[in-house]
Amino acid sequence: MNEAKPSALVQVREVTKRFDGATAVDNVSLDILRGELFAILGSSGCGKTTLLRMLAGFEQPTSGRILIDGVDMTEVPPYERPVNLMFQSYALFPHMTVEQNVAYGLKKERVPGAQIRERVAEMLALVKLAPLAARKPDKLSGGEKQRVALARALVKRPKLLLLDEPLAALDKKLREHTQFELANLQYQLGTTFVVVTHDQDEAMTLASRIAVMAEGRIAQIGTPAEVYEYPANRYVAGFVGNINLIDGRVSGAANGRLTLRSDALDAELAVACDDPGAVNGEVCVAVRPEKITISRQPPEGADRNVVKGIVRDLGYFGDQSLYRVRTKSGAVVQVSAQNLRRSAKLVVEWDDEVYLSWDVGSTILLRS
């Protein structure tokens, strides 16, 4: 068994969960560090909720272990874990007031009454719900319910707080606001948060680290910037943010660089590679739309990949514009550009012949 590293609060070790033959979680191992806001990101059915339910204790792994604070929790029932979960549906008890909802967990812990009142009041003040303490949940707005659910889970001072799609039920404006409140709260309390979400923006803005899950496996773990700028594989690259995926054939390798021929773009592209000799045949490279410069004149400067095309679509958003540029062979490249200079006339228009260029360093080599 692995020694518990002092910084890892949660250690998931080779956990697999099967339901009637279907594998929901497939040999997942990961560490969640003390005090971090960790996000598990994936589309529906990727196994993220099952993983969360195993952390909470509602499901038992088919195989593998889960350690929390160095203690094996694999067989421990939910009511004995130092873990609380904020449900996606909030799951507030409809027959109890806000105050009773928040106090429930402490009552089950047999905390003395005076302390319960004190801690509940403190928690309600923290989430700014003190004036609504006597209300029933059905008299609350969505945002208020979300805060009650949060207060109810946090009042037990769990070592680990799990949040299942915490913002999914809120409307867009409230979501952005709540997102920052949640991150602030986590910073204030220092509790370890694990957020499960299908929303990449939510994961990117909230989390200190993200685990991207696909088909029951971890596709990549890293900081938001790592996951965005250095996606480990084609799935992560396509799932997080917009990206242009380009298939090609290796045509040369030299000086830590790989050159490839893309028929779709009708161009030779270069990409940085630690061991160019080890890669050959069909490869996939990618580039983010905002890394591409669009111009009507041929671009200057070395170390740039250049592609020619015609503007087929143009979306003007004020602060930025989105272009869809078609190459001679019919492939479409997405480009986004900040509108840095004030001008009522667009520099690039529909049907313009344009050059697209980007740094070799911005090109992502995807090996799988």
Partner 1 sequence: MSDNSNGNGGHSLRWLRRAVSVPYLWLLLFFLAPFLIILKISVAEPIVAQPPFTPLLEWGAAGFEGIRVTFSNFAFLFQDGYYGIIYLASLKMAAIGTLFCLLLGYPMAYYIARQPAQRRHLLLLAVILPFWISFLLRVYAWIGLLSNRGLINEFLLGIGLIDRPLPMLYNDFAVYLGIVYSYLPFMILPLYSNLERLNLDLLDAAADLGARRWQAFVDVTLPLSVPGIIGGCLLVFIPAVGEFTIPALLGGADTLMIGRVLWDEFFIARDWPVASAVSVVLLLLLIAPIMWFQRLQSREHEAGR
For partner 1, the binding residues (CB under 8 A) are 56-58, 77-79, 83-85, 87, 89, 91-95, 104-105, 108-109, 136, 138-139, 152-153, 156
Quote the CA–CA distance of 222 and 201 in Å, as a whole number. Answer: 15
Q: CB-wise, 154 or 204, nearer to partner 1?
A: 154
Q: Cβ of residue 107: shortest distance to partner 1, in angstroms?
A: 8
CB 153, min distance to partner 1, A? 8
Secondary structure in 3-state letters for 312-353: EEEEECCCEEEEEEECCCCCEEEEEEECCCCCCCCCCCCCCE
User: Smallest distance from the beta carbon of 58 to partner 1, in angstroms?
Assistant: 6
Q: How far apart are CA 123 and CA 121, in angstroms?
A: 5
Backbone angles phi, psi at 79, to 5 degrees: -75, -5
CA dist 144 and 129 (Å) reads: 7
From the CB of 335, what's the least distance to partner 1, in Å?
44
Shortest spacing between CB 198 and partner 1, in angstroms = 18
Shortest distance in whole angstroms from residue 16 CB to partner 1: 22
Pick 108 or 312: Cβ nearer partner 1: 108
Cβ closer to partner 1: 94 or 318? Answer: 94
Q: Is the CB of 166 or the CB of 224 nearer to partner 1? A: 166
Tell me which amino acid residue 272 is: A
- Which alpha helices (DSSP H) does the chain contain, by range? 48-56, 98-108, 113-126, 142-154, 172-189, 200-206, 224-229, 234-239
Choose between 56 and 204: whose C-beta lies nearer to partner 1: 56
Residue with tokens 């990206």: 243
Judged by beta carbon, residue 58 or residue 180, the one nearer partner 1 is 58
